[in-house]
Chain A
Amino acid sequence: MDVINLTKSTDWNFIEEVSKESGQNPSLCYQCGNCTAGCPYTNYFDFPVSQIMRLLQSGQKDTILSSKAIWLCATCETCTTRCPCEIDVANVMDTLRIIARRENKVSEKDIKLFYDTFLASMKQHGRLFEVGTLMAYNLKSGHFFADAELGPKVMEKGKIHFFPNNIKGRDKVAKIFTRFQEKAKKHG
Chain B
Amino acid sequence: MRVGVFICHCGSNIAGTIDVAKVAAEMRKVPGVAFATNYMYTCSEPGQDEIKEAIKREKLNRIVVAACSPRMHELTFRRTIEKAGLNRYFLEMANIREHISWIGLDKEANTNKAIESVKMAVAKAMNNKPLYSQSFKVNKRVLVIGGGVAGMQAALDCADGGLEVILVEKSPSVGGMMARLDKTFPTIDCSICILGPKMVDVAQHDKIKLYAYSEVDDIKGYVGNYQIKIKKKATYVDWVKCTGCGACMEKCPAKNSYDHFNFGVAPTRAINIPFPQAIPKKAKIDPNYCRQFVKGKCGVCAKICPTGAINYEMQDEIITEDVGAIIVASGYGLVDMDKFPEYGAGRYPDVITGIQYERLLNASGPTEGHILRPSDKTEPKTVVFVSCAGSRDKSCGIPYCSNFCCMYIAKQAILTKDHIPDSQSYVFYMDIRSPGKGYDEFTRRAQEDYGAKYVRGRVSRIYPKGKKMVVVGADTLLGTQVEVEADLVVLATAVTAAPGAPQLAEKLHISYDTFGFYVEGHPKLRPVETNTAGVYLAGCAQGPKDIPASVGQGSAAASKVQALFSKDMLESDPAVAKVNENTCVGCLKCIMTCPFGAVKEKELRGGRIVANVIETVCAGCGVCTATCPCGAIQLSHFTDNQLLAEVNTICQK
Contacts and interface: CB of A to CB of B under 8 A. Distances in A.
A and B touch in the complex (CB under 8 A): yes
Interface string B442-484: 0000000000000011111100000000001111100111100
Nearest to B482: A37
A30 B393 CA distance: 11
A51 B461 contact: no
A139 interface: no
Given A42-B481, A48-B474, A51-B479, A32 B395 contact: no
Contact of A38 (B392, B395, B460): B460
**Which among A30, A38, A39, A84 has the highest number of chain B CB atoms within 10 Å?**
A84
Contact of A33 (B394, B395, B396, B476): B476
A48 B457 contact: no
Is the interface on chain B under 10, 10 to 19, 20 to 34, or 35 or more residues? 20 to 34
Given A37-B458, A37-B461, A32 B479 contact: no
B316 interface: no
A47 interface: yes
Contact of A85 (B394, B460, B472, B474): B394
Contact of A37 (B393, B394, B481): B481
Nearest to B477: A33
B339 to A, nearest CB: 11
Contacts of A38: 342, 460-461, 472
B430 interface: yes
Contacts of A78: 460
Nearest to A42: B481
A100 to B, nearest CB: 21
Contacts of A82: 342, 395, 460
A50 B481 CA distance: 11
A83 B472 CA distance: 15
B481 A39 contact: yes
B474 A47 contact: no
A184 B430 CA distance: 43
Given A39-B481, A84-B394, A86-B395, A31 B342 contact: no
Given A33-B456, A37-B457, A38-B461, A50 B474 contact: yes
**Which among B342, B393, B461, B474 has the highest number of chain A CB atoms within 10 Å?**
B474
Contacts of A48: 474, 479-481
A51 B479 CA distance: 7
A178 to B, nearest CB: 41
B343 to A, nearest CB: 11
**Which among A31, A37, A85 has the highest number of chain B CB atoms within 10 Å?**
A37
Given A33-B475, A34-B474, A37-B472, A83 B480 contact: no
A86 B460 contact: no
Contacts of A104: none
Contacts of A42: 474, 480-481
Nearest to B456: A33
A84 B343 CA distance: 14
Nearest to A54: B476
Interface in A71-104: 78, 82-86
B393 A36 contact: no
Contacts of A43: 481
A33 B342 contact: no
Interface string A46-60: 011011000000000
B394 A34 contact: no
Contacts of B479: 36, 47-48, 50-51
A24 B479 CA distance: 23
Given A37-B457, A37-B472, A84 B481 contact: no
A41 B458 CA distance: 17
A51 B456 CA distance: 14
**Which among B430, B461, B481 has the highest number of chain A CB atoms within 10 Å?**
B481
Contacts of B393: 84
A77 to B, nearest CB: 13
Contacts of B482: 37
Contact of A36 (B395, B396, B474): B474
Interface in A99-153: none
Interface in A10-53: 30-39, 42-43, 47-48, 50-51
A32 B458 contact: yes
A148 to B, nearest CB: 33
Contacts of B456: 33
Interface string B378-413: 000000000000001111100000000000000000
Given A42-B480, A48-B480, A37 B459 contact: yes
Interface in B269-310: none
A84 B396 contact: yes
A83 B476 contact: no
A83 B474 CA distance: 13
A37 B430 CA distance: 13
Contacts of B457: 32-34, 36-37
Given A48-B474, A50-B476, A36 B481 contact: yes
Contacts of B394: 84-86
A32 B103 CA distance: 32
B608 to A, nearest CB: 65
A36 to B, nearest CB: 4
Contacts of B430: 30-32
Nearest to B461: A38
Nearest to B398: A84
B353 to A, nearest CB: 18
A83 B458 CA distance: 10
Nearest to A85: B394
A28 B448 CA distance: 33
B476 A84 contact: no
Nearest to A45: B479
Contacts of A86: 394-395
B396 A34 contact: no
B340 to A, nearest CB: 10
Contact of A84 (B395, B472, B473, B475): B395
Contacts of A37: 457-461, 472-474, 481-482
A41 to B, nearest CB: 10
A118 B456 CA distance: 41
Contacts of B458: 32-34, 37, 84
A86 B392 CA distance: 12
A30 B476 CA distance: 11
Contacts of A51: 479
Contacts of B480: 36, 42, 48
A36 B461 CA distance: 11
Contacts of B396: 84
27 contacts: A30-B392, A30-B430, A31-B430, A31-B476, A32-B430, A32-B474, A33-B473, A33-B474, A33-B475, A34-B459, A35-B460, A36-B457, A36-B479, A37-B473, A37-B474, A38-B342, A38-B460, A43-B481, A48-B480, A50-B479, A51-B479, A78-B460, A82-B342, A84-B392, A84-B395, A84-B396, A86-B394
Interface of B: 342, 392-396, 430, 456-461, 472-476, 479-482
Given A48-B481, A84-B394, A85-B395, 8 more contacts: A30-B392, A33-B475, A34-B460, A36-B481, A37-B482, A83-B395, A84-B396, A86-B394
The list of the 9 closest CB pairs from A to B, nearest first, reads: A33-B474, A37-B460, A38-B460, A33-B457, A37-B474, A33-B476, A34-B458, A84-B393, A32-B458
